[in-house]
Amino acid sequence: MRTNDGLEPISRQDLLDFSIDGKMFRLMDPTRGIRKPKELSSALSISTTYRAPGAKRPYEDQVGPDGLLRYKWSGFDPENMDNRGLRTAMNEGVPLIWFYGVGPSLFQPIYPVFIVGEEPDEHQFVIATEVARDLHRPDSEAEAQIRRYVLAETKRRLHQPVFRATVMRAYETRCAVCALGHGELLDAAHIVPDSEDRGIASVTNGIALCKIHHAAYDVKILGITPDLVVEIRKDLLDEIDGPMLEHGLKERHGQRLMVVPAARNERPDPDLLALSYERLRFAG
């Protein structure tokens, strides 16, 4: 209920104040990345803290060659209490919640996820979504088709919701082009397509757009220059049509974006905007 079935982020305070049947039951550890409640035999949740673009995390959680995610141990001692809690979750096959930081003290919940392996030499566990777990074969390399499917599933269940939550938070849930503020009508658009091997998509390759402007951007009707000015493709400017074309698109031509992130390091990457804008110039 608090996250609209995982579509919306939740604050650290909400996670720490969580209760069940009137009794406090924290879903996140206030000081560590792994939550192992005393009431459970295994860990309940893992978390990845938010870092602004360009800043490194204490632990970098990456996608492995098999398309599955890696989560670093707590420290380097395999018998650390937190690591034992995750190992028990792996052995018992129980689900976990992954709280992924999308802003200061703001997390996107991803659930369920499962620990399907451990790589002691790398001090990390192997994490899979529910569908990817059933395809995990630790004794053989995944075939190319299975790996592509696992990557797509990982992106759908982890990358996309984290990317959307990060972009919506940065743009205060408003369309950058027209300032529409209804979240259900907004998308987190990629400035340039995000390739499979780039990991968690960066907010600097994203922009909040309403569905009309997102579609127009994707088909190269609408472009955004590196200095954040909207341009409409020339042949559309000469076209006569209904009010949506006239007021929703043509009137935005030559206007600066109405909404940009307050933090400069979260604003669109000018190099990526230039690459996308160059494609607009040759469209039509």
Predicted confidence (pLDDT) per residue in 165-191, tens digit: 999 999 999 999 999 999 899 999 999
Query: How does pLDDT run across 109-124, given as a tens digit for each residue?
Result: 999 999 999 999 999 9
Determine contact, residues 197/280, Cβ cutoff 8 Å: no
Closest CA relative to residue 67, chosen from 132, 130, 2: 132
| pLDDT of 198 over the 50 cut | no
- Please indicate, yes or no, if residue 162 is contained in any of the structural domains: no
On whether both 45 and 145 belong to a single domain, the answer is: yes
On whether both 138 and 23 belong to a single domain, the answer is: yes
- The domain total for the chain is 2
On whether both 227 and 179 belong to a single domain, the answer is: yes
On whether both 148 and 190 belong to a single domain, the answer is: no
pLDDT of residue 67: 77
| pLDDT of 43 over the 90 cut | yes
Determine contact, residues 176/207, Cβ cutoff 8 Å: yes
- Please indicate, yes or no, if residue 85 is contained in any of the structural domains: yes
Average pLDDT of every residue of the chain:
87
On whether both 53 and 125 belong to a single domain, the answer is: yes
- Please indicate, yes or no, if residue 165 is contained in any of the structural domains: no
| pLDDT of 29 over the 90 cut | yes
- Please indicate, yes or no, if residue 2 is contained in any of the structural domains: no
Of 61 and 276, the one with more pLDDT? 276
pLDDT of residue 196: 38
CA distance 6 to 192: 26
What percent of the chain shows pLDDT beyond 90?
Answer: 62
Of 151 and 82, the one with more pLDDT? 82
Determine contact, residues 97/110, Cβ cutoff 8 Å: yes
CA distance 44 to 255: 49
pLDDT of residue 131: 81
pLDDT of residue 87: 97
Domain range for residue 90? Answer: 10-155
Give whichever of 47-56, 230-239, 263-272 has the largest mean pLDDT.
263-272
pLDDT of residue 57: 56
- Please indicate, yes or no, if residue 166 is contained in any of the structural domains: no
Backbone angles phi, psi at 101, to 5 degrees: -65, 125
- Please indicate, yes or no, if residue 164 is contained in any of the structural domains: no
Determine contact, residues 137/149, Cβ cutoff 8 Å: no
| pLDDT of 135 over the 80 cut | no
| pLDDT of 152 over the 90 cut | no
On whether both 138 and 42 belong to a single domain, the answer is: yes
- Please indicate, yes or no, if residue 35 is contained in any of the structural domains: yes
pTM: 0.83
Identify the CATH number of the domain in which residue 139 sits: 2.30.280
Backbone angles phi, psi at 270, to 5 degrees: -60, -35
On whether both 122 and 79 belong to a single domain, the answer is: yes
- Please indicate, yes or no, if residue 251 is contained in any of the structural domains: yes
On whether both 59 and 141 belong to a single domain, the answer is: yes
Determine contact, residues 100/110, Cβ cutoff 8 Å: yes
The stretch 72-90 carries a mean pLDDT of 95
On whether both 141 and 187 belong to a single domain, the answer is: no
Residue 270 preceded by cis peptide, ω within 30 = no
Give strand ranges (E) for 171-247.
Answer: 186-190, 206-210, 222-224, 230-232
On whether both 15 and 80 belong to a single domain, the answer is: yes
Per-residue CA distances from 169 to 24, 101, 141 (Å): 28, 11, 38
